[in-house]
Amino acid sequence: MSGEGIKLRISRKKLALFSILVLVLIAAIYFIASYKPAGEEIKTWVYDGYELEFRADLREASKIQVPGEDQVHDLFWNEEVKNVTIGFKRTNDMGLTGIEAFEITYKLRLAYLIAKRDVGISAEELDSFANSNSTRQNPFVALIPPSISNETAIRVSENTVFISGKDSKDFDLITVKFLIIVLGIRLS
> Beta-carbon neighbour count of residue 155 at 10 Å?
16
Within 13 A of 174's CA, how many CA atoms are on the CB side?
A: 27
Q: CA-CA distance, 95 to 17, in Å (whole number)? A: 58
Instruction: Enter the pTM of the model.
Output: 0.79
Q: Encode the chain (188 residues) as per-residue pLDDT tens digits.
A: 556 777 777 788 877 787 888 888 887 777 666 555 566 889 999 999 999 999 999 999 999 999 999 999 999 999 999 999 999 999 999 999 999 999 999 999 999 999 999 999 999 998 887 777 899 999 999 999 999 999 999 999 999 999 999 999 999 999 999 999 999 999 86
The total number of structural domains in the chain stands at: 1
Quote the pLDDT of residue 11.
Answer: 81
* Assigned domain for 10 exists: no
- Give the CATH number of the domain where residue 91 resides: 3.30.379
The closest alpha carbon to 83, from 47, 136, 143, 160, belongs to 136
Asked if the structure places residue 37 within a domain, the reply is no
Structural domain includes residue 8: no
| Assigned domain for 35 exists | no
CA distance 61 to 100: 14
3-class DSSP string for 88-109:
ECCCCCHHHHHHHHHHHHHHHH
Strands 83-88, 44-47: pairing is: unpaired
CA pair distance 158, 43, nearest whole angstrom: 31
Q: Would residue 176 count as lying in a domain?
A: yes
Look at residue 133 and give its three-state secondary structure.
Answer: coil
Query: What is the DSSP pairing of strand 153-157 with strand 140-144?
Result: unpaired
- Provide the strand spans (E) within the chain: 44-47, 50-53, 83-88, 120-125, 140-144, 153-157, 160-164
Q: Is 91 among the domain residues?
A: yes
Helix count (H) and strand count (E) of the chain?
5, 7
Residue 64 domain-assigned (yes or no): yes
Identity of the amino acid at 184 = G
pLDDT (0 to 100) of residue 115: 96
CB neighbour list of residue 84: distance below 8 Å, 6 or more residues apart: 76, 108, 119, 120, 121, 122, 138, 139, 140, 141
Domain residues for the domain of 98 are: 44-183
